[in-house]
């Protein structure tokens, strides 16, 4: 008798074909066209193309990739269970969520946050295909609420890279072209409290490239970054440091000068011999690899095994480091990180005084 494990295992080799098929289905379903009763014209056809271009920018590339994988996984699960993913069935989606939290196969259980992300991916995919997924339906909402109640855990935060850490990390880098680039990435990311995607998406000027996420302006007193972030456009001011060795603006100037970059992406790859800068923008995974490598080289948290040290640090360690190290009014840190609330900023502060405000005494006890 064929088990679900065997069915899923046999389905795995066709993953790429499934994803391609799903992509073609989506391309057909969410194609923006004129209404059937409207006659086409040169101007209207051009507007259709413009609208399609805007629609493609509605979500980030990484988000779209994640949603595509979510749909491919759900579609395979439905086929194994002998059903079809279309139209949406709240009953089957509730069972799917339960299976993610408590798998009947050998695959590991997913975290609550990942399950919620999967549900968001399904909701988005159904919408693109002309269906509406009612997430408040009791078959979905009650199962998800139960999963949260039983399996939810406090979020695991990445370790903050503090001031002494970032200095030790940049000290491990050589002064060749790659070293200049990586030094600028670490210092600009730390001083700006930037996400890894924000670092990599920077251009030298406004409108240099179609995939730009912002641009850089350098002044006597520092650098101004204009970013197209998750919450909209925002400006990040990075002042000059106390010495050239630790100044993020000086590090950026050195990289741009020796890499001869005056147009396009700021952070790009280099030739194999490391002597020339390419025109290809770095992937944001480079920031993560750079952080992990320099953390090891600098001997940070050397009391732990290497595997544990690598797991502690990631791209968000730079943002958490700025929030934890900057001894200034909290509102300035909040503005630098682009947070909508002070509470969100406090989540990034790893060594703040939690009992600075003593409401017990203030209440007269």
Q: Tell me the per-residue pLDDT of 38-67, one tens digit each, with 9 for 90 and over.
A: 777 778 888 888 887 777 767 777 788 899
Task: Over range 337-352, report the average pLDDT.
Answer: 64
Tell me the pLDDT band of 270, cut-offs 50, 70 and 90.
Answer: very high
- pLDDT reading at 311 higher than 60: yes
Task: Over range 276-303, report the average pLDDT.
Answer: 95
In this predicted structure, which of 35-39, 236-240, 287-291 has the lowest mean pLDDT? Answer: 35-39
Task: Over range 95-103, report the average pLDDT.
Answer: 95
- pLDDT reading at 173 higher than 50: yes
At 25 the pLDDT is: 44
> 3-state SS of the chain?
CCCHHHHHHHHHHHHHHHHHHHHHHHHHHCCCCCCCCCCCCHHHHHHHHHHHHHHHCCCCHHHHHHHHHHHHHHHHHHHHCCCCCCCCCHHHHHHHHHHHHCCCCCCCCCCHHHHHHHHHHHHHHHHHCCCCCCCCCHHHHHHHHHHHHHHCCCCCCCCCCCHHHHHHHHHCCCCCHHHHHHHHHHHHHHHHCCCHHHHHCEECCCCCCCCCCEEEEECCCEEEEEEEECCEEEEEEEECCCCCCCCHHHHHHHHHHHCCCCCCECCEEECCCCCCEEEEECCCHHHHHHHHHHHHHCCCCCCCCHHHHHHHCCCHHHHHHHHHHCCCCHHHHHHHHCCCCHHHHHHHCCCCCCCCCCHHHHCCC
- Relative to beta strand 202-203, strand 214-218 is parallel
Check: CB of residue 199 under 8 Å from CB of residue 189: yes
- pLDDT reading at 76 higher than 80: yes
At 54 the pLDDT is: 77
Q: Tell me the per-residue pLDDT of 327-337, one tens digit each, with 9 for 90 and over.
A: 666 676 777 77
Tell me the pLDDT band of 14, cut-offs 50, 70 and 90.
Answer: very low
- Measure the CA–CA gap between 234 and 272, rounded to whole angstroms: 36
- Measure the CA–CA gap between 25 and 113, rounded to whole angstroms: 27
């Amino acid at each position: 008798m064929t088990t679900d494990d065997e069915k899923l295992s046999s389905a795995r080799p066709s993953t790429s074909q499934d994803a391609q098929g799903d992509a073609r289905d989506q391309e057909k379903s969410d194609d923006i066209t004129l209404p059937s009763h409207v006659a086409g014209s040169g101007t209207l056809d051009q507007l259709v193309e413009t609208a399609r271009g805007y629609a493609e920018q509605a979500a980030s590339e990484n988000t779209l990739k994640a949603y595509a994988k979510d749909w491919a996984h759900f579609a395979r699960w439905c086929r194994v269970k002998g059903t079809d993913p279309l139209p949406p069935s709240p009953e089957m989606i509730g069972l799917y969520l339960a299976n993610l939290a408590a798998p009947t196969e050998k695959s590991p259980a997913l975290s609550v946050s990942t399950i919620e992300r999967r549900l968001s991916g399904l909701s988005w995919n159904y919408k693109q295909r002309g269906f509406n997924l009612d997430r408040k339906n009791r078959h979905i909402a009650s199962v998800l609420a139960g999963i949260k109640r039983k399996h939810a855990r406090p979020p695991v935060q990445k370790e903050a890279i503090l001031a002494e850490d970032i200095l030790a990390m940049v000290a491990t880098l050589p002064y060749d072209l790659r070293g200049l680039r990586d030094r600028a990435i670490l210092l600009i990311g730390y001083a700006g409290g930037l996400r890894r995607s924000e670092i990599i998406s920077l251009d030298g000027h406004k409108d240099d490239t179609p995939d730009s996420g912002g641009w850089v302006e350098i002044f006597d007193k520092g650098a101004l970054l204009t970013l197209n972030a998750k919450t909209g456009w925002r400006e990040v001011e990075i002042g000059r440091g106390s010495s050239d060795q630790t100044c993020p603006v000086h590090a950026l100037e050195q990289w741009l000068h020796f890499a001869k970059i005056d147009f396009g992406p700021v952070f790009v790859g280099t030739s194999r011999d490391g002597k020339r800068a390419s025109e290809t923008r770095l992937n944001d995974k480079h920031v993560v690899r750079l952080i992990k490598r320099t953390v090891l080289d600098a001997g940070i948290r050397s009391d732990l095994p290497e595997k544990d040290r690598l797991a502690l640090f990631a791209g968000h360690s730079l943002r958490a480091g700025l929030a934890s190290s900057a001894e200034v009014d909290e509102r300035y840190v909040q503005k630098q990180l682009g947070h909508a609330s002070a509470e969100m900023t406090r989540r990034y502060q790893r060594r703040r005084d939690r009992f600075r405000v003593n409401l017990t005494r203030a209440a007269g006890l």
